[in-house]
Amino acid sequence: SDSYSVVMGGIAGKRVSNIANIPDDVVELFKYAAFGIPRAFLSMIWEYQRRKSRSTQQSIINSITQEYLSSRLLEYRSLVKKVPKFRTIILAGEDLLNEMGTLVRDANAKAIPAQEKQISIGILKDDVSPIVKRMLDLLVEAGLIYQQTDVSHGLPARVYHRYVPHTAVLLGVRAFSLGQHGTSPRQIVEVIKYKTVKH
């Protein structure tokens, strides 16, 4: 939402000492990498403060966001032990998550030069069988994708379920930097703040 950055910044302002010593673009990037989870955002900030003298800023940011994503995926995969009958759809769900990231990155190759961005994946409602719905629901419950409101297009109307893959997945595939290495946090945040494409 429009107030997301302000709310997350307010939380950090109360909980993180010396937040002013961290570059604004780094703080902003961690806000989005946390994908709406304040505790994750604060953990990334604290980890950055702990490591900031050990390596380059970009490598620290990449390492922290990917470690966070790895821990989320590890927790998601642990569902296999908890509910063995869902093993196939849990593993397929991770493959789907990775493919979502790739599709968003590829869509952004056209959107970013026009100063727009794409973050959503549309799945035709008619193609969502009960087992596919369960797979998607598990990803939502694990916090790895976010379900937006459905949209309809065309006549007769085709209804699409819309999902946003975790921002850490998108950062990992460089979805906001046209696949380029070495893009600065400032440039990435700038793209994240672009207007979202219409479809």
Two tokens, residue 153: 């297009």
What is the rounded CA–CA span in Å between residue 85 and residue 21? Answer: 49
8 Å CB contact between 97 and 165: yes
pLDDT at 179: 67
Burial group, residue 23, by CB count within 10 angstroms (0-12, 13-18, 19+): middle
**Partners of residue 160 on adjacent β-strands:** 124, 151
pLDDT at 189: 94
What is the rounded CA–CA span in Å between residue 157 and residue 168? Answer: 33
Read off the pLDDT of residues 112-124 as tens digits, 9 standing for 90 and up.
999 999 999 999 9
Read off the pLDDT of residues 89-112 as tens digits, 9 standing for 90 and up.
999 999 999 999 999 999 999 999
Q: Predicted confidence band at 65 (pLDDT cuts at 50, 70, 90)?
A: very high
- SS3 call for 2: coil
What is the rounded CA–CA span in Å between residue 8 and residue 36? Answer: 8
What is the rounded CA–CA span in Å between residue 136 and residue 142? Answer: 10
- Residues 52-64: b if buried by 16+ CB within 10 A, e if exposed: eeeeebeebbbeb
pLDDT at 182: 66
Whether residue 180 is predicted with pLDDT greater than 90 in this model: the reply is no
AA letter at 125: K
Report field, pTM of the whole predicted structure over 0.85: yes
8 Å CB contact between 162 and 120: yes
Read off the pLDDT of residues 26-51 as tens digits, 9 standing for 90 and up.
999 999 999 999 999 999 999 999 88
Two tokens, residue 23: 């570059």
